[in-house]
Amino acid sequence: MSVWVIADQRKGTLRKPALETLSEGRRLADQLGTSMEAVIAGHNVEGLCNEIASYGAEKVYLIDHEILANYNPPAYARAVGDLIKDKQPQIVLMGGTMTGRDLMPRIAARVGAGLAPDCIKLEIVDGKLKAIRPAIAGKVRVEIGYKSDIQMAILRPNVFERLEPDTSKTANIEKVPFEPSDLDTKQRLVEFVSKETGRPELTEAEIIVSGGRGMKAPENFALVEELADLLGAAVGASRAAVDAGWRPQSDQVGQTGKTVSPNLYIAVGISGAIQHLAGMSSSKFIVAINKDPDAPIFNVADFGVVGDLFKVVPLLTEEIKKIKAQEG
Amino acid sequence: MKVVVFCKSVPDTETRVRLKDNRLDKSEIKYILNPYDEFAVEEAVRMKEAGKVDEVVAVSMGPERAREALRSALAIGADRAILIKDDALDGSDTYVTAKVLVKALEKDGVEYGMLLFGQQAIDGDTWHVPGQVAEMLGLPQAGSIIKLEVDPDAGKAVANRLVEGGEEVHEMALPCVVTCRKGLNEPRYPSLPNIMKAKRKPVQDYSLADLGLSPEEVGRAGSFTEVLSYSLPPKKEAGRKVEGEPEEVVQELVKFLKDEIKVL
Amino acid sequence: MINPQEITRHVYWNIPLVFKILVYVGGLGTIALVAWILYQRVQIWKKGKGEDRQDKLKERLIFAARNVFLHTRILKDEYPGIMHLAIFWGFLVLFIGTILVAIEADVPFVHFYYGIFYLLVSLALDIAGLVLIIGVCMALYRRLKEKPDRLQPQKPEDNIVLYLLLAVAVTGFLTEAVRIAAQGFPRFELYSIVGFILAIPLNILGINGTLAHRIFWFIHMLCSFAFIAYIGYSKLLHILVTPANIVFRDPRPYGVVDTIPNMEEAESFGLTKIEEFSWKQLMDLDACMRCGRCQEACPAYNTEKPLSPKNLIQDLKDHMNERLVGGKSPEECTPYQRISDDVLWACTTCGACMEECPAYIEHLDKIIEMRRYLSLMEGRIPEELNQTFRNMENNYNPWGVGFANRADWAEGLEIPLLSEKGSTEYLLWVGCAGAYDDRYKKVLKALVEILKAANIDFAILGTEEKCCGDWARRLGNEYLFWMMAMENVEVLNGYGVKKIITACPHGYHTLKNEYPQFGGNYQVIHHTQLISQLLEEGRLTINRSLEGVFTYHDSCYLGRHNGIYEEPRKILQRLGLNLKEMEKSREKGFCCGAGGGRMWLEEKIGTRINYVRCDQALALDPQGVATACPFCLTMFDDGLKAKDKIEEIQLKDIAELVAEAIK
């Protein structure tokens, strides 16, 4: 009756949400007085097992096969799901990466277990898992209880605290045999198109940095671009900036431009007329930098900075650079 | 090739959520076809217009209002619809939902080449049902796609999943499951003749009994998870507005970004 | 004393019988030809749908007569107005003279063409001929020398009709002159003053015989018949069609469009083929003279958009002819082959074209009919509209802010909800901008202060109010408009609302002029009308006078569409402001660029209309610009920001200025 974490790796590297999930798994296991174990599926990923152990996994199930080299939903679900059915852990967790969100429902269906998505808090109540998650775009919080013996949950990234790894630990590895089935060969990841370098699309971006009339001149958009690149963000613009010819039409956010709903929207020198708000007010968080304290953008901003963007933005960029440098 | 699109009736994105007796207060809610499902319907209809698909079936499980969501799908261009409606289904979790949808496909007998879903429903936000259906039916699956190419004759599909840092290109044998998101297409604004035509397109109603399921197998009784309570999130404070020396305000802003919303 | 009977001229003097017969053959023949062609045009118009335009016939006739004989509208543009007036009256008097002569010659036992009467008629006809020649020369000067843009492209017929008129008039004078010379200059012929004077040099040149007279007479007749015959084949047809077109004009405010009857059962929507226009809409196409006044006034044309109202009407006319005359099938050719989507979406429905048109052609309903086709039949809408329409469907406002938030603006202002109050004297129709746009919320708050200061009994609908639907209707989405209108009327009638104050000209126009189509009959008043009235009645006191040079921008839906020009101006003057008029104001006001749903469309082609309008305001170097419409306000706000003038110039709604002054 242990706590399991499915460790998400890509190209031989553990994903950050996996580390957070391992940390949370450890905490729950301690609370239940049971062991925390991890599963990793992939090809030539044995080298990751020690890192997994360093986050407190007492045992690592290693499923290594060529066909698991890349993400393959049916194969991954069968490999991990059948192991769960066999070993019957009480709790199974995975980080909410695009793989986690895609894979866990399959596993839950295979195992026949309850699953909670996008959890921001996990508790043990009467020896059972209770999951807390937002729904309806964060407008409501839902507490989820389980009736199944196996309780599964997907953890929202960047929410759970990551433990300091204990690198002295080495993994107790149990290799699990895997035989591909017909179904596994019906799907194949043929290519990974990396977008690490270029900026993301406006409508797909998690973070957007937008500039408006307050930018004053096209060359000043370099400030916005630098900040955006640092955050892996897309660059947007208000209609005024597009009209002035400082940015292409395709960058325009607003009623007659693109409608976006990123996790974070940073509005730089944008006053926030309703035509602009209509295109971005559903963003989860909004930061506004504007020198006019009465600008309507502050009515929707979660964090507003009243000040000169030409001072604030370079300082902000510097600070973020420092943080990134610390993280290595 | 025939395809099935799954549709959900959801509260509009701008809905003001209120609670009443620990349940969602549904009195002031405007329901719409889940916007992600619209991408799926649009994609299916485009495949039909391209001559790759000859029938688009829209399926929904839900209360009577789900019929409106199906009408929207029919107006975009789906050919017929199936509505699974039964009071006993109330409280079903995603596992049960997937199970019921699979039963409905069996009952209808449609020989589908592809099942299309929205990546998520904007109310439940679980992203669960497509994967659960795919697993129950033993089908390949590509979630959160922004590009889809289907070759019914060769029996395969190539889909681009949008993931962190890039796109995964998956090649799948048909039939398969895909989930659609923004970026895949721009759903059309249905023309009025099509809206009117949609009112005359057939909608098949199924009850639990029609699907050979008993009330114990579904709803709260048959689910693995249950909603214990709803609560409103701590009220978003009226946005903070800071003024002062740039160095100081930037420090505060960084703290907000790093510690409160955790984007750094 | 000469016998008055001798003061005359014998009609057909010096004309052999053969020629005389030719006159009857030619005259009756050409008149029959014109009648035949007119008949055929009528048959073509009749292929359009039925429409009742025969009500209040007396008013219609009086209105048309005033326009035809007094040139009330044509004269609004001076040079071409005077030019046309000269040609018209010259031609008309000569025409009457010709009829008199014909009666004298051909009606047995009738004899009146002598004595004083003869002298006066001779004088009148000579003056008329001279006036006609002056008018034609003015027209030729314009077409050959000035070549204004609005007349381009010119067609050969444009000059042919002028040359024909000139030839008729000149040969008429020559004939008269030679006759006077040949008759030995009778003194009384001095009343035929032009002919008399012209006869002197002709006499010196020896052109004074009966042969010369016959030759001139013959040419004059030839030209006259050519002219009559040409009526049916040229723009001269307007002599007959345009007055009729004015008689049958739509007397309602511009921009009132009718709904689609039986929408839920209809098979097609908007203009799919030309016969779906009404007979009057087809007649409009033949009434157009290509004078180009509409084009010159059009804000879209003036900012390099592909729309010219003149070309639109001409393209439709050409299409009508290829279909209904040329016999092509609707499948072979559609109106949309000649008229691109960009043309149709460029219209701001400002009504400037209709205000200018001397033939009272109705451009707007045609554009809306075609937009209906694009929106409803084809779903071929500019991509940004997709979201706007959905927003209106799902949240009953174009921005898509949650409908449950519609009354948030009023929080803490202690405004009664009609649902709580039960009944009220005035309902305050807040409108989408008042409810959701932070900028316009301030205007609503100012208006509420004013209403409270004047002790007006009012209430709002709160979340029961929905978008009036104006945008949907102007953008051709009649179905969406219909849903909005039905739902609003149901709520309003449910409360028994009688009087409505609107803070938006679009709501004003729609509720007042168009909701009656759905059973909603209310007394609607715009906030500037109410404020003006309250000031007049002394129910509001100005406690501090405002200063500075202000200009007022006319909202098209307030001004041209509904004739409200004075009230806003009176208010501003009462506040103590120095009101200066822009180059284009009142009836000639230049649109801000937001109307007709343009607010929700990206302006991708040409110069921004609001920039041009801002320049017109800035030319006055004002301290402030006053508006009375939320969308004009937005357009000015954007424009003044783009021109970096927003900090220098106060941009205010009239209600805000009044609220300031009564504090």
Question: How does pLDDT run across A182-225, given as a tens digit for each residue?
Answer: 999 999 999 999 876 678 888 878 899 999 999 999 999 999 99
CA C272 – CA B183 distance, rounded (Å): 33
Residue B13 dihedral angles phi and psi, to the nearest 5°? -55, -30
Residue C60 falls within a domain, yes or no?
Answer: no
Whether omega for the bond prior to residue A89 falls within 30 degrees of 0, making it cis, is: no
Strand partners, C417: C460
Q: Quick one: which of C612, C445, C633, C494 has its CA closest to C555?
A: C633
For tokens 């509208």, the residue is C73
Contact A190 B158 (CB under 8 A): yes
Q: Which two tokens stand for residue B116?
A: 């299309």
Residue pair C354/C364 in contact (Cβ under 8 Å)? The answer is yes
Assign B236 a pLDDT band (cuts: 50, 70, 90): low
How near does any CA of chain B get to the CA of C400, in Å? 7
Question: Are residues C470 and C516 located together in one domain of the fold?
Answer: yes
Whether residue A147 lies within 8 A of chain B, CB to CB, comes out as yes
Within-domain flag for C241: no
Q: Are residues C410 and C430 in the same domain?
A: yes
Residue B84 has pLDDT above 90, yes or no: yes
Domain segments of chain A as ranges: 3-186, 207-327
Q: Give chain B positions within 8 Å (CB) of C381.
A: 189
Tell me what pLDDT residue B191 has: 93
Question: Could you say which residues from 220 to 249 on chain A have a Cβ atom under 8 Å away from some Cβ of chain B?
Answer: 231
Residues of A in contact with B244 (CB under 8 A): 307
Q: Say which of A73, A231, A288 has its CB closest to residue B141.
A: A73
Condensed to tens digits (0 to 9), the pLDDT of residues A69-111 reads: 999 999 999 999 999 999 999 999 999 999 999 999 999 999 9
Question: In this structure, is residue C267 part of a structural domain?
Answer: no
> C131 with C177, same domain?
yes
Cβ separation of B167 and A193 shorter than 8 Å?
yes
- B:C CB pairs within 8 Å: 49
Residues 6+ apart with CB under 8 A from B165: A194, A195, A196
Q: C612 and C648, same structural domain?
A: yes
Q: Classify domain A207-327 at the CATH topology level.
A: Rossmann fold (3.40.50)
In C425-484, where do the E strands start and end?
Answer: 426-429, 458-459
- Minimum-distance CB partner of A274 among C384, C399, C604: C399
Q: Residue B15's closest chain C neighbor by CA? A: C402
Query: What crossing angle do the helices spanning A98-111 and B94-108 adopt, rounded to 10°?
Result: 70
Strands A207-211 and A13-14 come out as: unpaired
Give the pLDDT of residue C366: 97
- Show residues of chain C in contact with B195, CB under 8 Å: 479
Query: Once rounded to an integer, what is the mean pLDDT over residues B15-24?
Result: 82
Q: Are residues C28 and C167 in the same domain?
A: yes
The predicted pLDDT at position C1 comes to: 62
Single out the residue of B236, B231, B244 nearest to residue B261, CA to CA. Answer: B236
- Residue length, chain B? 264
Q: Is C404 on the interface with B (CB under 8 A)?
A: yes
Residues A243, C642: C-beta atoms closer than 8 Å: yes
Is there a contact between B8 and B40 (Cβ–Cβ < 8 Å)?
no
Mean pLDDT, all residues of chain A:
93
Whether omega before B246 lies within 30 degrees of 0, making that bond cis, reads no
At residue C21, the 3 state secondary structure works out as helix
User: Which among C437, C602, C614 is the top mutation candidate for probing chain A, defined by the most A β-carbons within 10 Å of its own β-carbon?
Assistant: C602
Is 80 exceeded by the pLDDT of residue B36?
Answer: yes
**Cβ separation B241–A298 shorter than 8 A:** yes
* Residue C7 forms part of a structural domain: no
Q: Could you tell me which residues are beta bridge partners of residue B11?
A: B31
Which of B12, B14, B191 minimises the CB distance to C378? B191
Clarify whether residues C117 and C203 are in a common domain: yes
Question: What class is the B2-222 domain?
Answer: alpha beta
What does each C-alpha distance from C527 to C89, C445, C471, C565, C625 come to in angstroms? 45, 13, 20, 13, 17
Query: What total number of domains does chain C contain?
Result: 4
**Are C31 and C177 in the same domain?**
yes
Using the Cβ of C381 and the Cβ atoms of chain B, whether some distance falls under 8 Å is answered with yes
CB spacing of C404 vs B32 below 8 angstroms? no
Cβ-based neighbours of A299, under 8 Å, separated by 6 or more: A272, B239, C438
- Helices in C325-430 by DSSP H: which ranges? 335-338, 341-345, 352-356, 363-372, 383-395, 418-421
**Chains linked to A by 3 or more Cβ pairs within 8 Å:** B, C
Strand runs labelled E in C302-345: none
Question: For residue C118, which of C199, C7, C194, C14 has the smallest C-alpha distance?
Answer: C7
Binned average pLDDT, 10 residues per bin, chain C of 663 residues: 83 90 93 96 96 94 97 96 97 95 91 93 97 98 96 94 97 96 94 96 93 95 96 94 97 93 88 96 96 97 98 97 94 95 98 97 97 95 93 95 94 96 96 96 98 97 97 97 97 97 98 97 98 96 95 98 97 96 96 97 95 97 98 96 93 98 93
Q: Are residues C149 and C286 in the same domain?
A: no
- From B32, B186, B192, residue closest to C269, measured CB to CB: B192
C touches which chains (3+ CB pairs under 8 A)?
A, B
Interface test with A, best of B250, B254, B260 (most A CBs within 10 A): B250
CA-based max dimension of chain C? 98
Shortest CA distance from B10: residue in chain C? C394
pLDDT at A197: 62
For chain B, the average pLDDT equals: 94
Backbone angles phi, psi at B61, to 5 degrees: -115, 130
Judge: A244–C642 Cβ closer than 8 Å, yes or no.
yes
In this structure, the answer to whether residues C172 and C302 fall within a common structural domain is: no
CATH superfamily of A3-186: HUPs (3.40.50.620)
For residues B220 and B224, what is the distance between their CA atoms, to the nearest angstrom? 8
- Chain C interface includes A272 (CB < 8 A): yes
Residue C385 belongs to a domain? no
Q: What are phi and psi of C649, to 5 degrees?
A: -110, 130
The CATH code of the domain that includes C296 is 1.10.1060.10
Task: Answer yes or no: is C570 within a domain.
Answer: yes
Quote the DSSP letter at residue C378. I
- The token pair at B16 is 């003001």
Residues 77-136, chain A: which have Cβ within 8 Å of B? 77, 81, 97-99, 101-110, 112-118, 130, 134-136
C155 lies in a domain?
yes
Q: How many CB pairs under 8 A join A and B?
A: 266
C400 vs B: CB within 8 A: yes
- Which of C386, C400, C401 is opposite residue B189, by nearest beta carbon? C386
Q: Answer yes or no: do C394 and B12 touch at CB < 8 A.
A: yes
| pLDDT at site A196 | 63
Which among A291, A303, A318 is the top mutation candidate for probing chain B, defined by the most B β-carbons within 10 Å of its own β-carbon?
A303
Short-list A121, A126, A115, CA closest to A148: A115
Name the one residue in this structure whose structure tokens are 């004989």.
Answer: C69
Closest CA to C143 of C132, C128, C130, C158: C158
Contact at CB, A116 and B17, closer than 8 angstroms = no
Answer whether C642 touches A (CB < 8 Å): yes
Residue C357: what are its φ and ψ, rounded to 5°? -60, 120
List Cβ neighbours of B215 (8 Å cut-off, separation of 6 or more): B88, B208, B221
Q: How far is CA C648 from the centre of its chain?
A: 36
Per-residue model confidence as pLDDT tens digits over B181-197: 988 999 999 999 999 99
A3-186 and A207-327 agree in CATH topology = yes
Which residue segment(s) compose the domain that C328 sits in? Answer: 274-380
How far is Cα A18 from Cα C407, in angstroms, rounded to an integer? 46
The neighbouring-strand residues paired with C49 are C278
- A115 or C109, higher pLDDT: A115
CB atoms within 10 A of CB C29: 13
For residue B235, name the pLDDT band (cuts at 50, 70, 90). Answer: low
Q: Is the dihedral of CA A42, A48, A49, A54 positive or negative?
A: negative
Of the CA atoms within 13 Å of residue A280, those in its CB half-sphere come to 39
Structure tokens at A232: 């892996």
